[in-house]
């Protein structure tokens, strides 16, 4: 795992290019640890997640590790471990951007879907090919893919195991932007920089309102939104942001 810190944001690179960044237990542990370190760093508000090398974001959970699973209970533990790490990313105060630089398959697509935003290289290919190995997605794919693409497209992808190009993934709402491969990191870093300039409390609570709101019904979501709006409106950054607008100058947010 490689962590590179910038002003307000970090770039986290899954670094196992010889296996197309497949997630073995050591890589999963390193991802979990790196995320803990970034969450503990108050200067970091946004994280770009990408894969080392120019072929893959992440080509899935490690197939050799899946091959060694000896019982249903062991398989369930394996799935819960991956789910817990990805769920933590989804719930984190840190806003995450997946920069999909190549294959995002199986656990790779599941990692990208746990992130808040997805930017893909035009040459990237995504999919949930687990069925071709005799298993089903276990790190959130059966739940997050239908929430992004609808149940028809999700079932199509999960039942066939087909790989899908970046533009088709964009059409279905699984990725949010498709850019020429050479521009991917420039676009992702520029997005990270812009988000890191936003009022920190509003940035984290906007994410929470959308993410947590989607878990329940509309009335519960609207209650949550009102409460979180209240917190942002009472912040010093809200005084600064509105004052700066009225004074026709850029705001200087401090995260308070």
The residues binding ligand COA (CB under 6 A) are 19-20, 22, 59-64, 66, 103, 105-107, 129-130, 133
Kindly tell me which of 35 and 103 has the beta carbon lying closer to ligand COA: 103
Q: Mark whether 168 is an active-site residue.
A: no
Catalytic residue among 4, 110, 168, 212: 110
**Rounded least distance, CB 81 to ligand COA, Å:** 14
User: Which residue matches tokens 């932007």?
Assistant: 177
Does the annotation count 130 as an active-site position?
yes
Task: Identify which of residues 6 and 181 has a Cβ nearer to ligand COA in the complex.
Answer: 181
Q: How far is CA 230 from CA 57, 98, 204, 223, 226, in A?
A: 39, 30, 14, 11, 6
Do 101 and 124 form a contact (C-beta atoms < 8 A)? yes
Distance of CA 103 to the CA centre of its chain: 15
Q: How far is the CB of 47 from ligand COA (least distance, A)?
A: 23
Strand 164-165 and strand 125-127: pairing? antiparallel
Which helix (H) or strand (E) segment is 16 a member of?
Answer: none
Is 119:184 a contact under the CB 8 Å cutoff?
yes
Least Å distance, CB 165 to ligand COA, is 13
Q: Are strands 103-105 and 56-58 parallel, antiparallel or unpaired?
A: parallel
Which residue in the list 7, 130, 197, 240 is annotated as catalytic?
130
Cβ at position 54, least distance to ligand COA in Å = 12
* CB of residue 172 to ligand COA, shortest distance in Å: 19
Tokens (6 digits) for 65:
């590790």
Nearer to ligand COA by Cβ, of 161 and 255: the residue is 161
22 or 85: CB nearest ligand COA: 22
Instruction: Using the minimum distance from each CB to ligand COA, give the nearer residue, 27 or 191.
Output: 27
| Partners of 3 in the β-ladder | 12
Residue in 204, 210, 141, 135 with CA at minimum distance from that of residue 174? 141
User: Which residues belong to the active site?
Assistant: 110, 130
């Amino acid at each position: 795992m490689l962590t590179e810190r910038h002003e307000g944001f970090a770039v986290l690179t899954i670094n196992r290019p010889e296996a197309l960044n497949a997630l073995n237990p050591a890589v999963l542990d390193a991802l979990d640890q790196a995320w803990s370190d970034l969450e503990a760093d108050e200067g970091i508000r946004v994280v770009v997640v990408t894969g080392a090398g120019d072929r893959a974001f992440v080509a899935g959970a490690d197939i050799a590790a899946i091959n060694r699973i000896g019982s249903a209970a062991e398989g369930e533990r394996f799935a819960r471990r991956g789910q817990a790490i990805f769920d933590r990313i989804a719930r984190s105060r840190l806003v995450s951007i997946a920069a999909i630089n190549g294959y995002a398959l199986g656990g790779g697509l599941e990692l990208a879907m746990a992130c808040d935003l997805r930017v893909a290289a035009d040459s990237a290919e995504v999919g949930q090919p687990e069925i071709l190995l005799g298993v089903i997605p276990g790190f959130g794919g059966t739940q997050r893919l239908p929430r992004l693409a609808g149940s028809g497209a999700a079932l199509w992808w999960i039942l066939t195991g087909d790989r899908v190009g970046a533009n088709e993934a964009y059409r279905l709402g699984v990725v949010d932007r498709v850019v020429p491969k050479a521009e991917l990191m420039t676009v992702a870093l520029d997005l990270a920089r812009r988000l890191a300039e936003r009022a920190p409390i509003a940035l984290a609570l906007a994410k929470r309102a959308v993410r947590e709101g989607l878990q329940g019904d509309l009335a519960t979501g609207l209650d949550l939104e009102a409460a979180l709006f209240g917190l942002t409106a009472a912040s010093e950054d809200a005084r600064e942001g509105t004052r700066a607008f009225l004074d026709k100058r850029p705001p200087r947010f401090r995260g308070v």
